[in-house]
Structure 1
């Protein structure tokens, strides 16, 4: 045995095979030098998704097989063959290697999200953003004692309207935090998986009855569900849970999440009624609500709680700026920059609203506490941003009746739930 021990430098023969190389090393050896390294891909459960450049497409099946061999726990390799163009945010895909098994799952924020990647939109690269927003839904309650640690707002005092909910990466963690959640998506398949994810993340301890799902166009959801709900509870000290069990409590925050970066800003026009139609026949006639319609002091007392908006958008690098987004916001809300942002830097309290005159309350919306931040790089010269702000709606908008007998009834969780 001792004579086989190497005690000085010498030559040793070693056999190195395919199994000894990483994905990146194999691809570098197999592909021509003019092709840039293949490093960008997305993994969702057992599915890996590539977005290959044109020069790499002739070698796509080789890339797929190497990925199948070298990347752990992968059974399906796909290529995103076209950009997201459909209203359902799905894309054309090509199977490069493995089984055509597109039903998978991913885990983030302590919840498991199931999906069919061929039919619904999902972006695991936004996991950090999902966590950041969910954690911000319940900010600390203000206290005057410097020796006490502020406690977050109780979840049942927060309402979340998720306008483009997808399979639930915002809605379900928010529901688990105790928030009342109204989640919507236009895609019927997303609606199905959203309901299934709500059911499968429920437990005896956390039944998630505080989440209601809708299958509607985003504008219809805002006009037919969000605004009537906000109007009902935004001026009240009581609300109901999503499962319609009455609960006496005060709602501190009304949060709107609009994660459709290509179009979300444009959907803000759903908060604006057709002003040429605002007349007596279009105003809510509930006596308990409209008795003091012209009393601005009452309106100030009832509607000082704003909508906290998280509105995502794309911005072309070096071409567009924060000012571009503000202009788009003003256009969508049918107002001008001066009126919309006149209180942008005001202190976060109700003093500004209390001091406003009747005309401002009646006719103009405005924004406070504006915050515009970078989220992620999407493509060369294209970035994703989030505009966060408090939106105050004028009195006439809040009392406008958006309901229409011609609007198609929405699908909700009262329909058959997938087991």
Structure 2
């Protein structure tokens, strides 16, 4: 039967699971408060670590999040929960709230075998008539039930929205990047007084994934790209491991640059490679392009000027079992570009077809123990005739002597390094002879596995920034042409399409992009891919193009 409260309810009272409005907000300045004031002192914007005082302050705030939300529940026998809940009227009114079960045990005395189906109504008067009729028909009861929630139930965003100074225009500073076990924040200046509290809340709300919370202090180092950081909460452990593209990368986050938000771009670039191709990664970092490419069977020459990145690159190549296909270097980018052309010719990386699977290794080990040679027949099990040939350790064909792809992921300055390609083949020809080089180019031209263009000249994928938001394509191509030494009238100059395929991805929808040229006038194989918004007036792009012979021979 229905509870008597149903007849006394006169108006609907919407359910609210939001934190109480009575929770005091922190103030921007730690000032002496008047009697009865609820302001809280906060740590200074800069200075000594204040994590312990913040933890104590947060502990005092937590009880203020305790709250009870009264709902109406349908009391049913435990064995009938599935049947009753499947009724269309009940299903339509069942409470659906994240992290809350819609069916709970009945805590009232004498109802141990009952369950409560929680409804999304605050009073019995709101319950639809068909549910009331169902309760009367089946002898069920509509009863009030209090849902107890507290600090642990709320998300980091909800907690910080409740206690930080209210500023609807800028939102709550709960956005961060996760790199392994490290959460990396980039707080605006107005939130610096509360940075330790913000860090502690994020740490507590992600106990299974985050152990360290840091905040970026300064701009990225101009040479090595890493930045100074401040520990906000958790362990002072900066050596972390990130997983991406079926590879793992271990590094010291304080000493290298790694942005997990670029994993889609890493995958996109690697997807342009083909097994057996030769790849030169000029600014490789810890290997987000180089290692996946090597794993798929590319021969890779990887470089980074930062000694810490180079050390991680070497270790990660071994950890991912691709050291046989990925040679690592620690050189200036321009030097590496010119040297990698020569290294590829000398085949400093041996034949490589990617790491062997466990099944392949087991089969190879078995064959070696049996003393078999390449192509001998081997039985699948004892007592069976030998019917299947086994390749004991057949080496893949030698790699190409010419680089197929150059990757340049240093957005702040990579375009400037394009000048290193000017005369790169002319320098190689002086060392090996022009005839030998021409013969190698002719062999690529005769290949049937690639397009006509791809048979001859290498592709370059260079990341860059632009602030010319209304003409990004022309701006990037102009800067690239300048570095390549191609004048505005040179027949091989880079001309971008009017609207590259990724133009629609740009988030600057309020800024019109000028259509400067028609598609027909664009340089073949020139691609401009929008990667991400870096700042309100700065975007990151990737320019891909095929190096013309006039640049490689500096003709």
TM-score by length of 1: 0.73
| 24, 42, 62: which one aligns with 2:177 | 42
The yes-or-no answer on 1:391 pairing with 2:391 is no
Partner residue, 1:212 = 327
Using CA pairs below 8 Å that are at least 6 residues apart, which structure has the higher relative contact order? Answer: 1
Q: 1:16 aligns with which of 149, 155, 164?
A: 149
Q: Using the alignment, how far apart are the partners of 2:296 and 2:468 within structure 1?
A: 36
Distance 1:343 1:76 in 2: 45
2:419 counterpart of 1:269: yes
**Matched residue of 1:394: which SS?**
helix
How far is 1:367 from its partner? Answer: 6.4
Say whether the 8 Å CA contact 2:327–2:349 is kept in structure 1: no
1:371 to 510, 520, 527: 527
Q: 1:380 corresponds to which residue?
A: 536
Mapped pair 1:111 → 2:247: yes
Give the equivalent residue in structure 2 for 1:227: 341
Contact 1:188 1:215 in 2 (8 A): yes
Q: How does 1:51-70 map to 2 (within 5 A)?
A: 51-70=186-205
Q: Which has the larger radius of gyration?
A: 2
Match of 2:484 among 308, 320, 333: 333
Shift of 1:378: 1.6
CA pair 340-84 structure 1, distance change in 2 beyond 3 A: farther
Give the Cα separation in 1 of the matches to 2:305 and 2:258: 14
CA RMSD of aligned residues (A): 3.3
Identify which range, 180-189 or 129-138, moves more after superposition: 129-138
Q: Taking structure 1 as reference, are residues 30 and 251 closer, same or farther at Cα in structure 2, changes over 3 Å only?
A: same
Matched residue SS, 1:339: coil
Q: Distance in 1 between matches of 2:219 and 2:329?
A: 26
Note the residue ranges of structure 2 that are not aligned, 5 or more in a row. Answer: 1-109, 117-139, 353-394, 446-455, 498-521
| Alpha carbons 2:242, 2:249 under 8 Å: kept | yes
2:61 is matched with: none
CA distance in 2, matches of 1:339, 1:309: 19
Unaligned runs of 5+ in 1: 139-154, 234-238, 347-365, 400-419
CA contact under 8 A between 2:213 and 2:232: conserved in structure 1?
A: yes
What's the counterpart of residue 323 of structure 1?
474
1:196 to 299, 315, 321: 315
TM-score, normalised via structure 2 length: 0.56
Task: Give the Cα–Cα distance (whole angstroms) in 1 for the partners of residues 477 and 466 of structure 2.
Answer: 12
Q: CA deviation at 1:228?
A: 2.1
Q: Matches of residues 85-104 of structure 1 in structure 2 within 5 Å?
A: 85-104=221-240
